[in-house]
A and B are shown apart, each in its own frame.
Chain A
Amino acid sequence: MTSLPSPSPKKLGLVIDLDTCVGCHACAVACKEWNDGGQFGPLPDERAYEKNPLGVWFNRVHSYEVTPTEHAKPPMMVHFPRSCLHCETPDCVTVCPTGASYKRAEDGIVLVDEDKCIGCQLCAWACAYGAREFSAERGVMQKCTLCVDRIYNESFEEIDRQPACVMACPTRARHFGDLGDENSAVSKLVAERGGYDLMPETGYKPVNKYLPPRPRQDASASAFAATSGKVDFSTASPILKWLDRVLTR
């Protein structure tokens, strides 16, 4: 059924720390690697080695330049991983005419049953976050599964039962857990760091949260930028004074 289940107490999702993300795309690559061989079938690339390659990825990392409106501050670079937010009330589920798109009652994961999907792509139109990518080769819609075939996989050690993107992140910018449980590590992180929803005006109530970048050291950074052009050697050590004389000769 594509009607939404009644809200479950368990809301599995990700918390993404925009402060520590360095934009290395390791999460995107790890996701592609795991899910290409996962139980939901391959993530095909079309014309992979030709001029206009096109492929299905569940995870995309944007890089933004954020320019403060106050002029004194330097712009900030923010790397921004974007994937399915496993929303609580998403239209991508309700618009599905076949029941292929569904939200799990037990943990809130949004999935596509690829054996039922007719490839009408209406769910991708309904998603505000670009989480769904259609595979023309397979003729079905594909999306992040929150690595449902990892997180419950009992053949893995407990510590490995996490989504591939979380496992791969070298800066631990991605955290996985139950956002419905107030006392979970992820919920505490969200409370502590002021985690927020993307595009809350859609009303889809994303489960995944984003942690804002911490304030940058603007004062020292701009002071460095202002003086780096000309160095005052009058107060420098004798060795540096001598080096300055030798090099400017």
Chain B
Amino acid sequence: MRPTFAIIFFTVVSGCGFGLLFFVGMFGCIDPVRLPRMVELLGLGIGMALAAAGLLSSLLHLGQPQRAWRALSQWRSSWLSREGVASLSTFVPALALGWLVWRDETGAACRVGSAIVAIMSVVTVLCTARIYSSLKTIRAWHNGWVLPGYLLFGALSGACVLWCIDALFGDAVAALPWLIVVLAIASAAIDLAYWRFVETYVGASTPESATGLGRFGKVRSFEAPHTEANYLTHEMGFVLARKHAARLRVISLFLFAMVPMIATLIGMLFARATPIASAVSSVSVIAGLFVERWLFFAQAKHVVMLFYATTDRA
């Protein structure tokens, strides 16, 4: 599948925003005074800004962006529609929570608001992942690794940004670096498992099953229907060299898993370096996730290419 910047930006940045909102909500639900007031306010603000930036970026991918409001209507059947509804409705409790925190409230309302923000953030990223993992035509997406991957990558990048905000206000939450270490290890493990799956799965479809001509023998494309590219070959015929994929995979793992782990270690050893270490880890994780998400598209094969017989299986 052709990697499109607007979609990569949408999934990575909105994932990070909702990851951040999740942790603000989670900490607030456990203990409304756990996060310093400014950290919580900035976390909500930046989380919403990142989520909004991601959603706006997704509009750039549309052929008719002015009609985007229509996408909220088919939540009964469409994960894309559910994603739209869930993401927009997360802003309501997030804004309400921000208002409560602004007024220095610490009561039950804060806990409830925080819990709703946390739950809605998870639901939104879950919907984002399901847009892709529900497509039966793309085996590299239609598998059990995609959903935990999206959730963990969102959580990891959100936790890094929260640590960065927290570091600016005295590094009050000691649990954050540990949380980042755990999430980085889990994300790396999921990514490695996903990578292994993508490299080894055996697709159910072949040019023989696509054309139904397998009973007569081996099917080879003698002549394509068109001499130039068309929408299908342009959108779904993207091919990435294996050796480049392996190198990019290592780069992304280094950026989103290794760098934040080293940064947390530096932060724990040298408290004064925490603001810089947390900022570096935030930028590095997001850069690494951009590479990871680019590969998510570039390595995915679509079954329609079997008709062009450019691949043996998909």
Contact = CB atoms under 8 A, between A and B. Distances in A.
Interface of A: 1-4, 18, 25, 28, 52-57, 60-69, 73, 75-78, 80, 82, 91, 93-100, 116-122, 124-130, 133-136, 138-141, 196-203, 210, 212-213
B67 interface: yes
Interface in B178-232: 204-205, 207, 209-213, 215-226, 228-232
Given A63-B223, A95-B80, A136 B63 contact: yes
B304 A129 contact: yes
In this complex, the member of A55, A73, A118, A130 whose beta carbon has the largest number of chain B beta carbons within 10 angstroms is A130
Contact of A201 (B131, B209, B302): B209
A2 to B, nearest CB: 5
Contacts of A98: 67, 70-71, 73-74, 81
A96 B74 contact: yes
B218 A203 contact: no
10 contacts: A69-B217, A78-B213, A100-B70, A117-B63, A128-B205, A130-B304, A134-B235, A139-B63, A202-B303, A212-B212
Contacts of A134: 63, 231, 235
Interface in B70-100: 70-74, 76-81, 84
Nearest to A80: B211
Nearest to A52: B228
Contacts of B39: none
Given A69-B218, A95-B78, A118-B71, A202 B137 contact: yes
Contacts of B67: 98, 116-118
A130 to B, nearest CB: 4
A100 B71 CA distance: 10
A66 B225 contact: no
Nearest to B204: A201
Contact of B218 (A67, A77, A197): A67
A4 B74 CA distance: 12
A217 to B, nearest CB: 14
Contacts of A68: 216-217
A120 B231 CA distance: 14
B8 interface: no
A5 B131 CA distance: 22
A54 B234 contact: yes
Contacts, number: 208
Interface of B: 1, 61-65, 67-68, 70-74, 76-81, 84, 131, 134-138, 204-205, 207, 209-213, 215-226, 228-232, 234-236, 302-304, 306-309
A51 to B, nearest CB: 9
B216 A76 contact: yes
A4 B138 CA distance: 22
A28 B225 contact: yes
A144 B138 CA distance: 23
A197 to B, nearest CB: 7
B71 A120 contact: yes
Given A68-B216, A97-B84, A133 B230 contact: yes
Given A78-B213, A91-B134, A121-B235, 14 more contacts: A52-B229, A54-B229, A55-B230, A62-B221, A63-B222, A65-B219, A68-B216, A69-B217, A82-B307, A117-B63, A119-B64, A130-B307, A140-B63, A196-B212
The 7 closest A-B pairs by CB, nearest first: A119-B63, A139-B63, A60-B225, A97-B81, A97-B71, A98-B70, A68-B217
A129 B236 CA distance: 12
Contact of A125 (B1, B68, B309): B1
B104 to A, nearest CB: 40
Given A28-B225, A202-B136, A57 B230 contact: yes
B64 A140 contact: yes
Nearest to B224: A62
B182 to A, nearest CB: 34
Nearest to A18: B213
A77 B211 CA distance: 13
A77 to B, nearest CB: 7
A64 B206 CA distance: 14
Contacts of A78: 211, 213, 216
A77 B81 contact: no
A189 to B, nearest CB: 16
Contacts of A1: 74, 76-77
A95 B138 CA distance: 14
A152 B207 CA distance: 36
Contacts of A124: 231-232, 235
Contacts of B230: 54-55, 57, 60, 133
Given A82-B307, A126-B137, A64 B213 contact: yes
In this complex, the member of B78, B136, B220 whose beta carbon has the largest number of chain A beta carbons within 10 angstroms is B78
A54 B222 contact: no
A64 B220 contact: yes
Contacts of A135: 63
Contacts of A199: 205, 209-210, 303, 306
